Structure 1
Amino acid sequence: MPAPAIPDDLRDDVETLWNFHRIDDPLAPVDVAIGLGSHDPSVAVYAAELFAKDLFPVVVFTGANAPTTVEQFPRGEAVHYREIAMEAGVPDSAIVVEPNATNTAENFERTRELLRERGTPVTRALILSRPYQQRRAYTTAMKLWPEVDFLCSAIQQPLTDYVESIGDPKRVIDMLVGDTQRLTVYADAGYAIPQEIPGDVEAAYDRLITAGYDSRLIPTS
Structure 2
Amino acid sequence: MIAEQVQADARLLWDYHQMGHAVRPCSVAIGLGSHDLGVADTAVELFKRGLVPVLLFTGATSPTSRGRMPRGEAVHYRERALELGVPSTAVLVEPNARNTGENIRFSRQVLEDAGVTVSSVLLVSKPYEERRAYATACKLWPAVEFVSASTPMTFEQYVDSIQDVHLVIDMLVGALQRLLIYPAQGFMISQSVPPDVMDAYERLCREGFTSRLITADSSTR
TM range (shorter): over 0.9
Q: In structure 1, what residue type is equivalent to 2:189?
A: I
Matching residue within 170, 192, 198 for 1:196:
192
Query: Aligned Cα RMSD in Å?
Result: 1.1
Contact 1:24 1:154 in 2 (8 A): no
**What SS does structure 1 have at the residue aligned with 2:30?**
strand
Shift of 1:9: 3.1
Matching residue within 70, 74, 78 for 2:70:
74
Contact 1:63 1:100 in 2 (8 A): yes
Matching residue within 135, 140, 143 for 2:139:
143
1:48 is aligned to 44
Runs of 4+ in structure 1 off by over 4 angstroms are: none
Q: Measure, in 2, the Cα distance between the counterparts of 1:32 and 1:18.
A: 26
Q: In structure 2, what residue type is equivalent to 1:195?
A: Q
2:129 is aligned to 133
Residues 1:183 and 2:179 aligned together: yes
Deviations 1:57-113 (Å, cap 9, x if unpaired)?
101000001111111100000000111122122111111000000000000000001
Q: Measure, in 1, the Cα distance between the counterparts of 2:81 and 2:114.
A: 21
Residues 1:35 and 2:35 aligned together: no
Shift of 1:7: 4.1
**What SS does structure 2 have at the residue aligned with 1:180?**
helix
Q: In structure 1, what residue type is equivalent to 2:146?
A: F
Q: Measure, in 2, the Cα distance between the counterparts of 1:15 and 1:164.
A: 14
**What SS does structure 1 have at the residue aligned with 2:187?**
coil
Q: Measure, in 1, the Cα distance between the counterparts of 2:165 and 2:207.
A: 14
Q: In structure 1, what residue type is equivalent to 2:32?
A: L
TM-score by length of 2: 0.95
Unmatched segments (≥5 aa) in structure 2 = none
TM-score by length of 1: 0.95
Residues 1:21 and 2:17 aligned together: yes
Deviations 1:30-57 (Å, cap 9, x if unpaired)?
0000000011110001111111100001
Shift of 1:6: 5.0
Count of residues paired in the alignment: 217
The 5-angstrom pairing of residues 76-91 of structure 1 reads: 76-91=72-87
Residues 1:165 and 2:161 aligned together: yes
Shift of 1:8: 2.8
Q: Measure, in 2, the Cα distance between the counterparts of 1:43 and 1:79.
A: 13
Unmatched segments (≥5 aa) in structure 1 = none
Q: Measure, in 1, the Cα distance between the counterparts of 2:85 and 2:11.
A: 33
Percent identity between matched residues is: 49
Matching residue within 4, 17, 29 for 1:8:
4
Q: In structure 2, what residue type is equivalent to 1:184?
A: L
